[in-house]
Amino acid sequence: MSEYETIITESADGIGVITLNRPKALNALNTTLMNEVVAAAEQFDADPDIGAIVITGSERAFAAGADIKEMSDKTFSEVVSESFFGAWDNLSRLRTPTIAAVTGYALGGGCELAMLCDILIAGDNAVFGQPEINLGVIPGIGGSQRLTRAIGKAKAMDLILTGRQMKVDEAERAGLVSRVVPAAECLATAKEVAVTIAGKSSIAAGLAKDAVNRAFETTLTEGVRAERGLFYSTFATDDQTEGMAAFVAKREPDFRNR
Ligand code: CAA
């Protein structure tokens, strides 16, 4: 039996999969689910046999946002003192690459959870949006920041101020998603991508992820400087020696993640 109430976890082939499992609430993100997703992701992150993590929902909904019923009676002092939503930030600190497999609704916190992942694979029925404005609030799990960095100010303002839903073709044109596939193939594709990443050097993958994330957080000069340092550091690893030796010898590399 799963140790979790609101998610299902599985691992195989060097990858971990977290499936949000509150179907009656369209996977609304309540506190239990937040804590369970973070705990499961951190457990996979600490496991040396796991090289990538997939987060997914159901065909109808990746997640329809933070749980409005749970949050509706909260007061200002409660959300402040609880650091409400704060645990989600832990996902941005994982070293292991994360992939969101998104089918159906990814609204509000659901869109924000997808954007917390490194790669976003979308089914052709995916719908994105930040409808918090319709509830008299604003995004609170990084949506105003990550959406704006991902798709630019013009579209982010449009979505966040009107609360409208964006279908997957528009989301792909805007640069929010990495790939669009038929909905029925979304999870399988995300798992394939995860297995591919898990086959690389996990040290190189973690550094590559770190380097790309710098582009979101710093200036070009600082980012290029950080990248150069991270690149140099790969020459301290056995995997660099192995990867280059394997290329020269025309064989597959055998990365040991060290
Ligand atoms: N919180 C709690 N329950 C939710 C929910 C949410 N975010 N989204 C859906 N549900 C529940 C519904 O209340 C309903 O439950 P009951 O059967 O008990 O009434 C069930 O899930 C099915 O939903 P609907 O009947 O509404 O399904 P639909 O197909 O008619 O509509 C939908 C689907 C358009 C996604 C609609 O459910 C919807 O608009 N949901 C809310 C979306 C939203 O506003 N998300 C933002 C939340 S705020 C947030 O996320 C803050 C932040 O930045 C972190």
At 24-66, the pLDDT tens digits run: 999 999 999 999 999 999 999 999 999 999 999 999 999 999 9
Residues of the chain with pLDDT > 90, as a percent, come to 98
Per-residue model confidence as pLDDT tens digits over 143-169: 999 999 999 999 999 999 999 999 999
pLDDT band for position 192 (cuts 50, 70, 90): very high
Has 226 been annotated as catalytic? Answer: no
CA distance 180 to 221: 33
Query: Which value does ipTM take for this structure?
Result: 0.98
Q: Write b or e for each residue in 180-196: b if 16 or more Cβ atoms lie within 10 A of its Cβ, otherwise e.
A: bbebeebbebbbebbbe
Q: How far is the CA of 9 from the centre of ligand 1 (A)?
A: 24
| CB of residue 129 inside a 6 A radius of ligand 1 | no
Residue 208 pLDDT:
98
Expressed in angstroms and rounded, the spacing between residue 197 Cα and the centre of ligand 1 is 34
The response to whether residue 66 sits with its C-beta less than 6 Å from ligand 1 reads yes
β-bridge pairing 15-20 and 7-12: antiparallel
Note the pTM of the prediction, 2 decimals: 0.97
Residues 6+ away with beta carbon under 8 Å from 23? 58, 60
Amino acid identity, residue 167? K
Phi and psi dihedrals of 3, rounded to 5? Answer: -80, -5
According to the model, what pLDDT value does residue 233 have? 98
